[in-house]
Amino acid sequence: MKPRRILIVGGGSAGWMTAAYLDAVLNREGMMPVDIALVESPDVPRIGVGEATIPSINHILSAIGIDELEFIKRVDGTYKQAIKYVNWLDGQGESYYHAFGRYRESPVDRSTLNWLMSDRSIPFSETISAQPVICDLNLSPKTLGHWDMGARLTYAFHMNALKFADYLAEIATSRGVTHHLDHVTDIEMADSGDIAAVKTRSGQCIEADLFVDCTGFASILIEKKLGVEWIDWSQWQLCDRALTIQVPYEHSYPGYVRPNTVATAVSAGWIWEIPLQNRRAWGYVHSSKHIDPDDAEKELRAFVGSIGDNFETRLVPFKVGYRAKAWAKNCVAIGLSAGFIEPLESTGLYLSDLAAVMLTEHFPYGGDMEPLAYRFNRIMANRFHEVLDFINLHYCLTRRTDTEFWREVQRPERIGDRLRAKLEFWRMKPPSLADFEDQLFPGQPDVPLVTGGYPGDHRSPIDTAGIFTLSSYEAILYGMDFLNAECNQWFGSKRPPPTVPQTILNRLQAAPHKLPSHEAWLQQIAGMSDYPIDPQSVP
């Protein structure tokens, strides 16, 4: 059988993740049903700001055959057990966690209801997981030796995205993926309307059966050549800029490495802090309509402190939305060319990961791509809507009124119709697993997905909990004090303190004795350097 030819246009994390994953899955055990090549321009600057992931990254690492420890060493990786949100509710120093692990009682789980019937004097996240406290203690999710703490802790990673792309490129090319370091100058079309080939500056004409557009917001195949529409979501996602700064540990080591991301709400958006093995990275995700560049830089530098005085910032503009069809003709958009939703829950790499997985599951071994594209586009569009609602959720429940930005995000026109229907329904009864079975809530508009002309699909987008589960929604809702007034009505205003399940208490009792500090694990197992503590970096 003649191999099907795939050409990935564009490198970076999205391009090389796609190349490595497609090769690992489609060309397993010596079979060669696909011939994969990747062309990337030496002229396009690479942006590396520090990247956070979600636990799904573990699937793609396993499928490609990447050893976790080797991965951590190669990408300056650290563990991420949760996201800590600071100042999102009232802006008065309050915080809560979205932890990845969740303890559930069985056979009937009453942990959420028990907390709702309590006085909320213990944060919800601490009653359903040990990981918020483990994060506060800066402990590793792994022991130095044999694991003997019951169920393993759930985690993702922080990493250097540029090094991750280089590592994937090394793996993919060693297994037979062809790498062209060349600038695409033209795209040749077939009479059918498909893409036939790309032409490069060096004079190459590279033909393929299937093209993957990983050219970022430039979208030179899916948009500039095929004209597929971009669906703008800036009405619900106000942030459109990220101002970043990175400070090496030689200048800023505080004596610990947090095992979680921190997202702190500030005047016109929020600031991430991501720790790697050799540096700390901050990024101010903000709305350009609510703060000018100079003031954004002043606010970021004031947040970072004097340790950042000698280091430059970098502005990364972005747009939020998704492609009406990620797969059109014989071209599949993956990465920023397919869509982007701001990085609050670290979904950028996840959406690229998902697209690569879905492409292998819908791979066109024969000639007819349209039915496969139909399903691929439905799945990807559903997931983009799911991410949009979840990110929107973080903003719309705020009680902050101290700046125009925070007043704006609460306005009804800034809350999507789907999310509004969910919240109104959940004010009648708390969210439960059944809410992810059939997503048609009272008052939810019946608006079909933008399918770009495919007939027959008149359904609204639905959530499947494929990325954000009931536990994820509960973490944000109850971290933002959702249903407090309703619980006063249902259960009375004088309620008992929350209880923490004994399983969690036992784990917390054992954790300080069995789990090393995060930096100790990284130094002893992953080879992280032992940096001198900078007194200015210690809070």
Residues carrying an active site annotation: 80
Distance CA 162, CA 13 (A): 7
- Segment holding 355, helix H or strand E: helix 348-361
Phi, psi (degrees; rounded to nearest 5) at 99: -90, 150
Torsion of CA 168, 170, 176, 182, to 10 degrees: 90
Question: How many Å separate Cα 501 from the centre of its chain?
Answer: 30
Cβ atoms of 233 and 391 within 8 Å: the answer is no
Cβ atoms of 63 and 24 within 8 Å: the answer is yes
- Segment holding 350, helix H or strand E: helix 348-361
Q: Assign 3-state DSSP to the chain and report helix, strand, coil percentages, each to 5.
A: 35, 20, 45
Q: CA separation (Å) from 98 to 95, 390, 465?
A: 10, 12, 16
Parallel, antiparallel, or unpaired: how do β-strands 82-86 and 261-266 relate?
parallel
Alpha helices for 111-178 (secondary structure H): 111-116, 124-128, 131-136, 161-174
Distance CA 214, CA 18 (A): 9
Q: CA separation (Å) from 27 to 1, 86, 334, 364, 475?
A: 13, 45, 20, 14, 40
How is residue 148 written in tokens? 């003997």
Parallel, antiparallel, or unpaired: how do β-strands 321-323 and 230-232 relate?
antiparallel
To 5 degrees, how large is the angle CA 67–CA 15–CA 6? 105
Distance CA 18, CA 473 (A): 29
Taking residue 172's Cβ as centre, other Cβ atoms within 10 Å add up to 26
Distance CA 274, CA 285 (A): 13
Phi, psi (degrees; rounded to nearest 5) at 514: -110, -25
The structure tokens 């005047």 sit at 267
Closest by CA position to 339, among listed 357, 359, 319: 319
Cβ atoms of 278 and 50 within 8 Å: the answer is no
Identify the bridge partners of residue 159 per DSSP, sorted by sequence position.
51
Phi, psi (degrees; rounded to nearest 5) at 240: -140, 15
Which amino acid is located at 226 in the chain? Answer: L
